[in-house]
């Protein structure tokens, strides 16, 4: 269909494991043009993410970084933020201890450093963006109500107006990245509400990104307008065993795989298994998969069990991802994805890309 023009990217959360996301995305961009890989912002009309995926969405979509820039910047950010644990200390009231493992001000510093390196003299630049060629959608959670709230670079009925008008780029990055087990919440907006990441609600944000895209492109069904939807995870866990299975010494019936409708915790942060959302979404939109317009990439064999802040495992993450990408089936899937993303030369939207 000639009207299928929209490309959408959804990025899971995963702390340092987001390096895997970037290396997968690098291969996808090279599948489009190996000699001159395009920036993701030049091919995706919307990039949405949760946790580290939300931060990557900001870096790639709002700041329009290329993949190599983003890999370098994100690696340095993780080493700076997770390099040394925060010392536990009394709060200003002196009545209780902060439970945060890491210092959110180091994350703020790292993000402002990236802004400076990209030539943004104003470190307080807002998330909102008049350039709508690549919309950015970030999931965060109200720490009091536990309600998922989107932060967007464009006006959205789902993003509170005061947050759209006031949230800065670095604030959105901190809020998206601030896993409750690792950081204190960040205060946003005139109402001074506190926010954390949304890994517990939507570590795989494919459904949230889809709903938001339907809100943005409402003239006809999103399915009719979609060229390609790409979802990238930050690693799968190994086989999970029930308590009965562990205690039975290996008897039958003790092993299960997280599947449709299951609720299983991510070893590194207590998030629901992202593949549950993938399975549900694919069942609801099987025609997209059948048409070769829906792609999901996720490194298997226990990558999900690497802790969110384990910078010592960064080389392992990259090596495991390269091994995954070298597999023939994955290699062919990446090539198909690159072909699906590429718009015909005569397309109206191809000229800006």
Which residues is 48 bridged to in the sheet?
10, 137
Tokens linked to 274 = 């992202």
CA-nearest of 57, 50, 22, 60 to 274 is 50
pLDDT recorded at residue 238: 84
Longest CA pairwise span in the chain (Å): 65
Taking only the tens of pLDDT, the chain with its 353 residues reads 346 799 999 999 999 999 999 999 999 999 999 999 999 999 999 999 999 999 999 999 999 999 999 999 999 999 999 987 665 554 444 444 557 899 999 999 999 999 999 998 888 999 999 999 999 999 999 999 999 999 999 999 999 999 999 999 999 999 999 999 999 999 999 999 999 999 999 999 999 999 999 999 998 899 999 999 999 999 998 866 554 444 444 433 333 223 323 333 443 444 567 888 888 999 999 999 999 999 999 999 999 999 999 999 999 999 999 999 999 999 999 999 999 999 765 454 443 44
Q: Are 71 and 314 in contact (CB under 8 A)?
A: no
Is the Cα torsion angle 20, 22, 24, 26 positive or negative in sign?
A: negative
Backbone angles phi, psi at 279, to 5 degrees: -60, -45
3-class SS at 265?
strand
pLDDT recorded at residue 113: 96
Is the Cα torsion angle 291, 297, 298, 300 positive or negative in sign?
A: positive
Distance CA 190, CA 167 (A): 10
The Cβ of residue 153 has, within 10 Å, a number of other Cβ atoms equal to: 28
Backbone angles phi, psi at 289, to 5 degrees: -65, -45
Tokens linked to 225 = 């307008």
Written as one string, the DSSP assignment of 309-324 is T-GGGHHHHHHHHHHH
Structure-token match 């390196």, residue found:
117
Distance CA 159, CA 198 (A): 15
For 304-321, give one letter per residue: b (16+ CB within 10 A) or e.
bbbbbbbbebbeebbebb
Tokens linked to 340 = 């699906």
Distance CA 177, CA 17 (A): 13
The Cβ of residue 118 has, within 10 Å, a number of other Cβ atoms equal to: 13
* Cα dist from 260 to 109, 144, 277, whole Å: 41, 30, 8
- Any alpha helices (H) in 83-198, and if so which ranges? 104-117, 161-166, 169-177
Distance CA 74, CA 80 (A): 10
């Amino acid at each position: 269909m000639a009207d299928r023009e929209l490309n959408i990217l959804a990025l899971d959360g995963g702390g340092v494991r987001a390096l895997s996301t970037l290396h997968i995305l690098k291969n996808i961009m090279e599948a489009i043009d190996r000699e001159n890989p395009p920036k993701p912002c030049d091919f995706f009309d919307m990039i949405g993410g949760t946790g580290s995926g939300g931060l990557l969405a900001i870096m790639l979509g709002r700041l329009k970084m290329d993949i190599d820039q983003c890999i370098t910047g994100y690696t340095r950010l993780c080493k700076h933020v997770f390099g040394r644990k925060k010392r536990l200390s009394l709060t200003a009231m002196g009545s209780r201890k902060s439970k945060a493992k890491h210092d959110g001000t180091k994350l703020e510093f790292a993000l402002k450093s990236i802004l400076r390196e990209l030539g943004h003299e104003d470190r307080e630049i807002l998330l909102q963006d008049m350039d709508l060629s690549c919309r950015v959608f970030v999931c965060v959670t109200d720490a009091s109500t536990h309600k998922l709230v989107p932060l967007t670079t464009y006006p959205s009925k789902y993003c509170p107006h005061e947050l759209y008008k006031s949230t800065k780029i670095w604030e959105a990055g901190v809020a998206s990245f601030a896993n409750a087990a690792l950081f204190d919440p960040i205060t946003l907006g005139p109402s001074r509400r506190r926010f954390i990441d949304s890994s517990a609600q939507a570590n795989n944000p494919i459904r949230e990104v889809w709903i938001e895209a339907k809100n943005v492109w409402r003239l006809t069904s999103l399915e009719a307008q979609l060229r390609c939807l790409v979802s990238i995870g930050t690693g799968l866990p190994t086989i999970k065993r029930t308590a009965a299975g562990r205690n039975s010494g290996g008897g039958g019936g003790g092993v299960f795989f997280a599947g449709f409708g299951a609720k299983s915790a991510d070893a590194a942060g207590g998030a629901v298994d992202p593949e549950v959302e993938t399975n549900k979404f694919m069942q609801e939109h099987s025609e997209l998969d059948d048409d070769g317009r829906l792609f999901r990439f996720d490194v298997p064999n226990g990558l999900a069990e690497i802790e969110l802040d384990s910078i010592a495992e960064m080389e392992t993450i990259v090596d495991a991802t390269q091994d995954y990408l070298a597999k023939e089936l994955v290699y062919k899937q990446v090539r198909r994805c690159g072909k699906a993303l590429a718009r015909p030369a005569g397309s109206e939207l191809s000229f800006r890309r």
